[in-house]
Amino acid sequence: MHLKDNIKDQGFRLGQVKQQSRQSNIELQCVTEYKSENLLQIIAALGKTVGCVLDNGMILNYTRTAKVNRSSTRRRSIIVQLALVRLRDQLLASTISYNKANPKNKLNSSHLGLNGKPSPVFIAEHLSPTNKALHAAARLTAKEKEYKFVWVRNGKVFLRKN
């Protein structure tokens, strides 16, 4: 029994380390993909649109993720590593404020300077695979049990009835 508990504890700690390594990252979901896209330009347009200054020195790394399920039609996400957790929180708050201030024209691909039919773009914390699965399960449970709020803050998933 002691060995099982130890393995369980190590798995939990590994999950925490995986999430902590993503603590200053954001994920841009559903951004239209182009062969000759400039991700840095897209990120800069995001900052300008939502009113959050993102200088090149504040962006440490950025990349498109690989698809887990190749047959999925969902676009690959863009992961952006920022210099500070505080900057990540500021960008998330600015995005929420922008969407609340513009309910009929929420953040979409046209705001990021992308051509074509505007499609919604979502900005979120970059979660570890375990936490991403937990968030998905929480959203399903909230829908079934008619909970009104599900959110993520600092890698933790929260639910609230009303």
State the pLDDT at residue 146: 93
Question: CA–CA separation, 30 vs 121, rounded Å?
Answer: 5
| pTM score, whole prediction | 0.85
DSSP assignment letter at 125:
E
Check residue 17 and give its pLDDT.
84
What is the model's pLDDT at position 103? 93
Q: Is it the case that residue 123 has pLDDT exceeding 80? A: yes
State the pLDDT at residue 58: 92
For 45, the 3-state DSSP assignment is helix
Asked if 98 contacts 107 with a C-beta cutoff of 8 angstroms, the reply is yes
Residue 56 CB coordination number (10 Å): 9
- Which of 102-124 are b and which e, b meaning 16 or more Cβ less than 10 Å from the residue's Cβ? eeeebbbbbbbebeeebeebebb
Average pLDDT over residues 69-89: 91
Domain extents in the chain: 23-126, 127-162
- Measured over the CA atoms of residue 83, residue 85, residue 90 and residue 96, the dihedral's sign is positive
User: pLDDT tens digits for 14-26?
Assistant: 888 888 889 999 9
Tokens encoding 80: 């952006």
Quote the tokens at residue 112: 């990021």
Please report which confidence band the pLDDT of residue 4 belongs to, taking 50, 70 and 90 as the band edges.
Answer: confident
What is the tens place of the pLDDT at every residue in 34-75? 888 999 999 999 999 999 988 888 999 999 998 778 888 888
- Taking the CA atoms of the chain, what radius of gyration do you get in angstroms? 17
Crossing angle of helices 2-20 and 129-144, in 10° steps, is 90
Looking at the domain that runs over 23-126, which CATH code has it been given? Answer: 3.30.70.1820
Q: What pLDDT shows up at residue 70?
A: 82
